[in-house]
Amino acid sequence: MNLGGGWNDDPITREDEKTADEVINTCLDLGINFFDHADIYGKGKSEAVFGKVLRSNQGIRSKIIIQSKGGIRFQHPKRYDFSTFHIKSCVEGSLKRLNTDYLDIWLLHRPDPLMEPEEIAEVFSGLKAQGKVRYFGVSNMHLHQIQFLQSYLKDELIVNQIEMSLGHLDWLDEGVLFGNKTGKDLNFTPGTIEYCQMNKIQIQSWGSLAQGIFSGRDATNKPESVRETAKIVKTLSEKYDCSEEGIVLAWLMRHPAGIQPIFGTINPVRIKACNDAVRLSITHEEWYELYVSARGVEMP
């Protein structure tokens, strides 16, 4: 989401193109071939600058998986829109900006309370029949919304992208605190993780690095739990001879749901640091050490 410059109407610069080219090639050199977009990122410039790189390097498209999202509208009032017209507009816009004939995956970005599932089913079928989108998924939806939508669709939804990190633990605490009054204010729908596992829906985590607060960002003014967790991350990175980012992502990937972390850095050094996660397998005890520390209180 940080490609293409700021979230403004400034034109894409040569420096923006150079950055995008470096990011894509750094990823490919590391074996990372999955790129997550959204039509709103950089007000469309993130997709557009990515598409410029694809146009200049014709052989890249067949080597990568492109996912994009749509449904958020910033025009007043800011709202969500899953109408046939807007879904088609989102997909067509992304295809044009990305300079590609098809999207491997397209996600509904945030739940629209006014969604008509029959309408979504029809437009999804049309986009797939036209070869414009191969697979569909959702983002920021709980299991009941997914079940409701899925009941109208011909094809299985294959992705649910939600916020998950050492700094955002509701998805874990919801199960751990079942029946415990300390969990009464949690904002995570019970059973969503298990539903996705049971139905082979790939869980993707956004915000995976928690904005770097556990991997080098200044945490002086953060809660003690954050500072202590950052120290544990540092210790483990030294033990495993890897980056702190690698430990933070390896913690997510240790969960049996097979979480696929999405990270948004466009710094090649940090991209390489994140890639350390694929070679790590932290222990059961180390996973809990991080979890309990990040919670800030011991387990019930």
User: Looking at this protein, which amino acid is placed at residue 60?
Assistant: I
What is the rounded CA–CA span in Å between residue 245 and residue 230? Answer: 11
Between the two ends of the chain, the Cα-to-Cα distance in Å is: 38
Residue 103's DSSP bridge partners are 133
Structure tokens at 274: 């994140």
Q: Which of 188, 218, 209, 192 is nearest to 251 (CA)?
A: 209
Burial of 58 (0-12, 13-18, 19+ CB in 10 A): exposed
What is the rounded CA–CA span in Å between residue 92 and residue 99? Answer: 11
DSSP 204-272: EEESTTGGGTTTTS--TTS-HHHHHHHHHHHHHHHHTTS-HHHHHHHHHHTSTT--EE------HHHHH
Q: Which of 225, 221, 243 is nearest to 234 (CA)?
A: 243
Does the N-terminal peptide bond of residue 77 adopt cis geometry, omega within 30 degrees of 0?
Answer: yes
Residue in 41, 80, 135, 291 annotated catalytic: 41
Our answer to whether residue 41 is catalytic in this structure is: yes
Are 79 and 110 in contact, with CB atoms under 8 Å apart? no
Catalytically active residues are 41
